[in-house]
Amino acid sequence: MDWRKLDGTRIQQPLLEAVEETIVRETNAGYKLKVCIGTDSQVRGEAIEFATVIVFLREKKGGFMFINNSRVHKTMALKERMITEVAHSIEVAYRLCDLLDRHKVELEVHADINTDPLFQSNTALKEAMGYILGMGFVFKAKPDAFASSCCADKVV
């Protein structure tokens, strides 16, 4: 997976090293961190583009993110696409969870799924919630899922 910062700078080292370096730097600067991971997608012609973000929140001091974009050439129903977004986020969260635990950094997984039954994405809510909670992660859905519905949405 190729990761970059919002300014387009590519992250050269392996993801775990980059995240640990970031945690150490930010903690040494006096910030208490929380990490939120989310994914959003857009259908573009015959492809689906995904953006997964790792948002580093500095308590009361803003934040920044690492971004990964990917693309699949496949047709998916909305529910399948929503669960695939969650799977992308879970994959990253699983890779980072031991590191974050070691540094006592709180982790949330955000799903771009609406809790209001009037919205189509709500059809995937129960499955997404079960998947994320079943993996042992803190689950957030819209309107609280800013990592997926705002941050990833801007870079997909």
* CA dihedral for 104, 52, 131, 145, sign (positive or negative): positive
Model confidence, pTM: 0.95
Please report, in tens digits, the pLDDT of each residue of the chain (156 residues total).
799 999 999 999 999 999 999 999 999 999 999 999 999 999 999 999 999 999 999 999 999 999 999 999 999 999 999 999 999 999 999 999 999 999 999 999 999 999 988 888 888 999 999 999 999 999 999 999 999 999 999 999
> Which domain covers residue 139, as residue numbers?
4-155
Counting the structural domains of the chain, the total is: 1
Query: The domain that contains 118 carries what CATH number?
Result: 3.30.420
